[in-house]
């Protein structure tokens, strides 16, 4: 069994390429994952698709062959050529793949280092694959450790301090553009997680906001939750307005600041919707695929996710020392994970050593009773004594087996022990290592 990771991010692709690679809905993800598992090479798969990345995590019998299969399917999905993808993709094998997953979960590979959304997005991707039977024990172990790693990084460093995200970065840039926010209202399109983050950051910086969404009821719920969430920030209905979606064109042509973050599979703002306006407009498109069509119009500055790099660079400088500490944690936990995997193989051996001992004890007791060496009523007491002796005898070998399991000779020693004592090769016990995020679903 080998691990393989294939990664397309803001580091190796531009936003136009990521739009083609992105998965717009669960049906697209399900079809892709079904296709990638339709072979004898890949046994488990998890797919993560966000505005900044597309990640594929695989459990395979051959990394090289699995990589070829995956990239061909990515080419079919994105309508990009295989050569284009091979030239762009970051491919990680085994230890490298696990290290990369831990890095992603810990928000060290994010556009905004320390952003808090990625761990939840990864959990959602894992949950989706688990519910659809696209992943099981092997990747569950990796994800379990990845979330542990993310928690350790979060607790040991200050990377997650404050509120950092693509949304907060966009709003910070807007604040720089509008030194004087007096009279500047912000239009927020959408009512999902990114829109909510945008609203909260805009309000925090002193902007009044207008929320516009196809689902006006969801927009009203969002506005109400911000006003009444009781987190210490006090906002009034005058600061938060909700407008129906049919007013979008009018709003676009009457407001100076816009943040859009919908899940629409196509641009919702096109050039034909724009009319002249007497002030400069700054529009932030943090959706993928992009909400704003690719056009130029006098007096309108459009910023996509990739245009936030200047603030991201400042973020990296401020967090450099913390990131260094976090990478050390990731490296250490990657080693811990593979050592832990090796120790799992010890438990079946130890279990069957004790079972074998109990079989011998039971057999000899029955023979002793049959030959009248001991009385039948003394059997349980003598059995307990024999088991205690055997447990003491096996204690030191058990410790040695657990120690040697993490060494290069571990597999050889365990195999030799199984052969020497004629032990059953039973690995079912490993199924007890369920991921704490498996939503109570039985992992095969």
The verdict on residue 235 lying in a domain is: yes
The answer on 238 and 179 residing in a single domain is yes
Cα distance between residue 205 and residue 193, in whole Å: 19
SS3 content of the chain, % helix, strand, coil (to 5): 55, 15, 30
- Report the CATH number that the domain containing residue 263 is assigned in CATH: 3.40.50.720
Domain total for the chain? 3
pLDDT single digits (tens) 364-394: 999 999 888 898 889 899 999 999 998 899 8
Same domain, residue pair 389 and 256: no
β-pairing, 2-9 with 53-60? antiparallel
**Contact (Cβ atoms closer than 8 angstroms) between residue 148 and residue 332:** no
Answer whether residue 280 shows pLDDT above 90: yes
- Flag whether pLDDT at 181 surpasses 60: yes
Q: What is the pLDDT, as a whole number, of residue 157?
A: 85
How many other C-beta atoms are found inside a 10 Å radius of the C-beta of residue 64?
12
Domain shared by 300 and 357, yes or no: no
Which ranges of 374-432 does DSSP label H, i.e. alpha helix? Answer: 379-404, 410-421
Local confidence band at 432 (pLDDT 50, 70, 90 cut-offs): very low
What are residue 213's DSSP bridge partners?
Answer: 244
Residues 15 and 157 in one domain: yes
pLDDT in tens, 118-176: 999 999 999 999 999 999 999 999 999 999 999 999 888 877 665 568 898 899 899 98
Q: How many helices (H) and strands (E) does the chain have?
A: 15, 10
* Top-confidence residue, 100 or 395: 100
| pLDDT > 90? residue 395 | no
Confirm whether 24 is domain-assigned. Answer: yes
DSSP state of 430: G
Residue 426 has pLDDT above 80, yes or no: no
For residues 75 and 192, membership in a common domain is answered with no
Domain extent at residue 296: 166-308
Q: Could you say which of 290, 308, 326 is where a domain stops?
A: 308
Which of 131, 162, 193 is the last residue before a domain boundary?
162
Q: Is residue 444 part of a domain?
A: no
Cα–Cα distance for residue pair 204/238, rounded to 1 Å: 15
Res 434 pLDDT > 50: no
Q: How far apart are CA 372 and CA 366, in angstroms?
A: 10
In this structure, are 268 and 387 located in the same domain?
no
- Is 313 part of any domain? no
Token pair for 68: 């070829």
**370 within some domain:** yes
pLDDT class for 331, splitting at 50, 70, 90? very high
Identify whether 282 is part of a domain.
yes
Question: Is residue 295 classed as helix, strand or coil in its secondary structure?
Answer: coil
* Catalytic option among 51, 135, 212, 435: 51
- Neighbour count for residue 301 (Cβ, 10 Å): 12
Statement to judge: residues 25 and 155 lie in one domain: yes
CB crowding 13-46: b at 16 or more within 10 Å, else e: bebebbbbbbbeeeeebbebbeebbeeebbbbbb
Determine the pLDDT at residue 386.
Answer: 92
pLDDT, tens digit, 9 for 90 and up, residues 34-44 = 999 999 999 99
Which residues lie below 8 Å from residue 78, measured CB to CB, with a gap of 6+? 17, 20, 21, 85
Give residues with Cβ within 8 angstroms of 357, minimum separation 6: 387, 390, 394
Residues 192 and 131 in one domain: no
- Based on the fold, state whether residues 81 and 107 are members of the same structural domain: yes
Q: CATH number of the domain at 18, please.
A: 3.30.460.30
Query: What element of type H or E holds 333?
Result: helix 309-344
One domain for residues 152 and 7: yes
Is the confidence at residue 190, as pLDDT, over 80?
Answer: yes
**Which residue from 93, 12, 15 is spatially nearest to 58, judged by alpha carbons?**
93
Q: Where are the beta strands (DSSP E) in 70-117?
A: 90-93
Residues 272 and 239 grouped into a single domain:
yes
Query: Model-level pTM?
Result: 0.73
Residue 443: inside a domain = no
Q: Residue 48: name the closest of 36, 56, 40 by CA.
A: 56
- 214 & 352 share domain: no
Give the tokens for residue 125: 């991707």
What are 200-257's pLDDT values in tens digits? Answer: 999 988 999 999 999 999 999 999 999 876 565 677 778 999 999 999 999 999 999 9
Is 199 a known active-site residue? Answer: no
Among 282, 308, 334, the domain boundary falls at 308
- pLDDT score for 439: 39
With respect to residue 320, please indicate whether it lies within any of the assigned structural domains: no
């Amino acid at each position: 069994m080998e691990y393989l990771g294939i990664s397309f991010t803001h580091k190796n692709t531009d936003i136009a390429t990521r739009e083609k690679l992105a998965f717009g809905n669960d049906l697209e993800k399900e079809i892709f994952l079904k296709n990638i598992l339709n072979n004898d090479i890949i046994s488990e798969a998890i797919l993560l698709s966000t505005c900044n990345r597309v990640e594929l995590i695989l459990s395979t019998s051959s990394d090289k062959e699995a990589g070829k299969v995956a990239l061909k399917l990515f080419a079919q999905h994105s309508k990009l050529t295989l050569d284009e993808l091979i030239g762009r993709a970051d491919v990680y094998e085994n230890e490298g793949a696990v290290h990369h997953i831990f890095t992603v979960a810990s928000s060290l590979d994010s556009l905004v280092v320390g952003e808090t959304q990625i761990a939840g997005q990864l959990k959602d991707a894992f949950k989706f694959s688990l519910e659809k039977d696209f992943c099981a024990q092997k990747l569950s172990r990796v994800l379990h450790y990845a979330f542990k790693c993310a928690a350790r990084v979060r607790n040991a460093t200050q990377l997650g301090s404050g509120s950092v995200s693509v949304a907060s970065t966009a709003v910070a840039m807007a604040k720089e553009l509008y030194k004087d926010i007096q009279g500047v209202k912000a239009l927020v399109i959408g009512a999902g997680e990114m829109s909510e983050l945008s609203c909260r950051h805009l309000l925090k910086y002193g902007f009044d906001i207008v929320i516009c969404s196809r689902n006006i009821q969801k927009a009203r719920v969002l506005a109400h939750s911000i006003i009444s969430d009781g987190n210490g920030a006090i906002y009034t209905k005058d600061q938060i307005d909700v407008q129906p979606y049919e007013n979008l064109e009018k709003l676009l042509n009457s407001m100076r600041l816009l943040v859009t973050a919908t899940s629409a599979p196509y641009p919702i703002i096109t050039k034909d919707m724009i009319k002249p306006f007497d002030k400069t407009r700054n529009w932030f498109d943090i959706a993928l695929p992009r909400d704003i069509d690719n056009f130029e119009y006098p007096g309108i500055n459009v910023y996509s996710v990739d245009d936030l790099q200047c603030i991201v660079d400042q973020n990296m400088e401020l967090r450099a020392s913390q990131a260094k500490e976090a990478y050390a944690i990731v490296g250490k936990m990657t080693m811990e994970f593979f050592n832990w995997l090796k120790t799992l193989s010890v438990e079946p051996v130890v279990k069957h050593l004790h079972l074998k001992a109990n079989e011998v004890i039971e057999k000899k007791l029955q023979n002793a009773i049959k030959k009248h060496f001991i009385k039948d009523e003394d059997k349980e007491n003598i059995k307990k004594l024999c088991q205690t002796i055997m447990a003491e005898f096996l204690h030191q070998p058990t410790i040695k087996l657990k120690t040697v399991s993490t060494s290069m000779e571990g597999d050889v020693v365990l195999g030799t022990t199984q052969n020497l004592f004629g032990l059953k090769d039973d690995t079912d016990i490993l199924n007890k290592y369920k991921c704490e995020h498996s939503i109570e679903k039985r992992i095969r």
